[in-house]
Amino acid sequence: MPLRAVAETLTRSRAEIPEATTWVDVDATDLLALRQQLTGADGRPVGLLAILARFVVAGLARFPELNARVDTGSAQIVHLDGVHLGIAAQTDRGLVVPSVADAHRLGMRGLDTEIRRLTAAARDGSVTAAELTRGSFTLNNYGVLGVDGSAAIINHPEVAMLGVGRVLPRPWVVDGAVVPRSITQLSLVFDHRVCDGGTAGGFLRFVADAVESPLSALADL
């Protein structure tokens, strides 16, 4: 996507969408341990983004308001049938958001394969226009930039974006004792026209609970 098109999308998003943000710190210690036990199609450990993507897709099935479009012409909210999960990728040409088509039909290994492929394509410039424009919800791992949080701009015409900060060892209270744990921050920016804080908070809490208890979450998916 040309830089001008990206700028126009972000400007339109800021101008049209009454956005709000909610966030939570989560204990990702068990998630990191689980990742070491899961291998992808290439034999490498499944990427953390793929595990999070699986939780996000499951969350969107429970909170479909966040997988939607606002039709300003008809003044209606249009709920989408499936999830095309956008993955924000930083490249030499700037930020682009290719999306995994029909992410709701893929398991964790399938998501891992597609995320790796799309990220590589975004960076070498081979990603297609269709892959850059079909997204219905975006997952943004800005932790790779070395930051904990971000007041992100929604990728118009989507209505929400989940951001993930860097994972750091921090003191955490577990069963009444302060212990070192791996903590990250999840933040959800959403279009207040499509839902209120209860729905947004419910989705964010679902993903956060899955991060903190990943084995239990995967058993229910």
Label residue 75 left, alpha or beta by phi (over 0 means left) and psi (-120 to 50 means alpha).
Answer: left
Which of the following is catalytic: 71, 196, 209, 220? 196
Q: Is residue 148 among the annotated active site residues?
A: no
Q: Is 192 a catalytic residue?
A: yes
Q: Which of 161, 138, 162 is nearest to 211 (CA)?
A: 162
Bridge pairing between strands 85-87 and 76-79? unpaired
Q: Report H helices in the chain.
A: 3-16, 29-35, 48-62, 108-124, 129-133, 197-212, 214-220
Report CA 165 to chain centroid distance, whole Å: 11
How far is the C-alpha of 90 from the C-alpha of 152, rounded, in Å?
14
Catalytic hit among 112, 192, 209, 220: 192
Q: Which two tokens stand for residue 182?
A: 């791996």
Catalytic annotation, residues: 192, 196
